[in-house]
Every structure is written in structure tokens, then in C-alpha cells.
Structure 1
Amino acid sequence: MAGTTVGEIRARLVLDMADWSRRSQQARSDMDQMGRSSANLSKQMGLIQKASLAVGGAVVAGIGVSVKKAADFEEAMSRVKAISGATGQDFEDLKNIAAKMGAETKYTAVEAAEGLQYLAMAGFSVKAQVGSLPAVLNLAAASGEGLGRSADIVSNIMTGFGIKAEDSGHAVDVLVKAMTTANTDLPQLGKQNCPAAWEQAA
């Protein structure tokens, strides 16, 4: 420090103070930017959390609906089992046809099971129920009647006319023709005056 003048010392202090001031401002700027980044990150995390909750809620709701549908189907098939007396592979065949019709047609598996109930009540064998259900679905779609009601009517008519279950497709064709040509509907065909309409269509 020997030989250093007061002016030089003052100049160094001024420079040091200016540098310190510049560094302080940079530090404040960095802190402000970090604060804004943190706030933005917090906001983004909040949005992600809300989206996750929404998706999670939808998934949970979807699972809840699926579980209820499965429970409804099992309940409907339990009624089919009780009415038909089917067990083992026979019962599995009934479940499979109901599930298949539920997947391939506009009707649900529960509605298909309802159709099986009426066929079983009409005394159809398991094989006859499995073979007749697709035709009953076609009749329900053509008539606009419910699946269970359609199964009830067509099975009653088939029983009344001595029509075999394997001929259910033909029976449905005749009923559809009767509806379109005799100015009538399926419930009317199911009443006592159905023989005339049936014979006219057949």
C-alpha cells in the first residue's frame, strides 16, 4: 500500500461500490425471475393436478359404471339360471350368447338376458334359447318393442302354432311380414286374433 495516494484509494472504493451495486441489482433481478418462475411452475402444477383429478374422476366413474353393468348382467343371468335350470356348460352357453348379442347388437347384454328369460319361461331348451335369441333380437328391432316383450310374444306364438325353436328365424320373418302387410303391430299379433294375421303372412 506504500506510495498509494488518497485519490487512488477513493477511486478503488468508488469502483468497488459500483461493482457491488451492479452485482446487487443482478442478484435482485435473478431473485425476481426465480420468483416468477416459481409462481409459474406452481400455476402449471396446479393445472396438472386439476387435470389429473378430472381424468382420475372420469376413470373412477367409468369403472363404477362397468362394475354396475357387470352386476346387473350377473343378476339377470341368475334369473335365467333359476328359470331354465341350466347349469355347467349349458349356463355358460347362455351367458356367452347374451354377452355376444350385447356386444354385436344395439341391445345390452342385460336386455339379451331378459330375452332369454322369456324364452326359458316358454319352455325353450338351452339349445333352443341360444338358437332363437338372434331372431328375437331382429324381431324386437323391427317391431320397436322391448326385447323381453318381443321374446314373450314370439315364443307364445311359436308354442301356439307348434313351431320348433330351430324355425324361429322363419317365424320372425312371418311376423315381420304380417306387421308390414296386415296394418298391425307385434302386440296385436300376440292377441287372440293373431292366427288370421299369421296365416295371411305365412
Structure 2
Amino acid sequence: MRADAKKNYSHILTVAREVVAEHGADASMRDIARRADVGLATLLRHFPSREALFEALLCTNLDALTQKAGELETSNSPEEALVSWFREWMAFAQGYRGVVALMAAAHTNPDSALYASCAAVHSASARLLLRAQAEGTARNDMNGDDLFGLMAALGWLVDLPSFAPRADHLVHIITGAILTYPPGKGARKARP
């Protein structure tokens, strides 16, 4: 990429972050181009779709999120890792209003620019769940798709202003339904 194109790319991403912070995932591509002081064609040359723009915006955060899952796999007990993973996910979801809906839609669409990132988050989630299930600390009647769906639903829910203040409580309820016993309380018989 030429130096001027690279500078344009970085500038567009900086402005896009600001616009998305103000308007969420529904931010207008035209508004982003206008505020970046570039033509819509220039914006679309760098980011041919809204998903491509979000992939570029979220790439660093999603990489960090999936890296965190790897750390949790080795440094925490399986049930604590799942609870921590949910909290990390919620922090991410609350940082990018509306992005959870885009990710949920891209989850099964290999043609989506967000597909690879969604697949990485899904895979990390599934590994953490399988580890907890192998230790008998998570329900055995769910899989990675179920967990990703619960994470997406919770992320979407706390996007709503009336539920945002209850995010921690909702994480506690959802993880309590997944785990066979509360973190740190010792194993007990798995629920049917």
C-alpha cells in the first residue's frame, strides 16, 4: 500500500471509530466518509462493505479477546475461565454498540468479512466450554453454538439502555445456568 493510501486508511479508521462510538454499528458509511473528508468511493475502495469496515475496526480487539481465551484456558479453573470469558465478551460488546448483531449474522456466512473473527470467538468459546464440561463443571447438554448464541443474545440485550446497567447481574444469571455449580464452591452432581 502506498504511503498516502496507508495514511488515508488509518485516518478513515480513526474517524470511523469516533462515528461508531457515537452512532453504533448503524453508523452511515456516507457520514464516515464525509467526516473523514474523503469521497464515498475512496471509503469503499478501502472498505467495500460495512462488514469489511467493522472487521478492520474490530480486528485488534477480537484478536485480543481470543488471545485472552487462550490465557484463561491455562490459568484459571474451567468454571472461572467461563465466567471470565463472559465478562471479557461483555466488555467487548459494550464497547461497540450494535456489533453483536453484525457478528451473529456473520457467524454462519463464510462470505462475510466478519466470518473469520466470529469463527475465532466461537472456537475459543467452544474450547472453554469443552474444558469445563470435561471437568464436570458445565452442562453437558450444550455445545459451542449454544454458548455463542447465549453470548450474542446477552451482548445484544445489554446494548439496550434499559439493560446495560444490569450487565454484570445478567452475566451471573447466564453463567449460573451453564455451570453445574458456582465458581469456587466445589463440585457437585451435574444437573440433568
Normalised to the residue count of structure 1, the TM-score between the two structures is 0.28
Max Rg structure: 1
**Higher share of residues assigned helix:** 1
Normalised to the residue count of structure 2, the TM-score between the two structures is 0.29
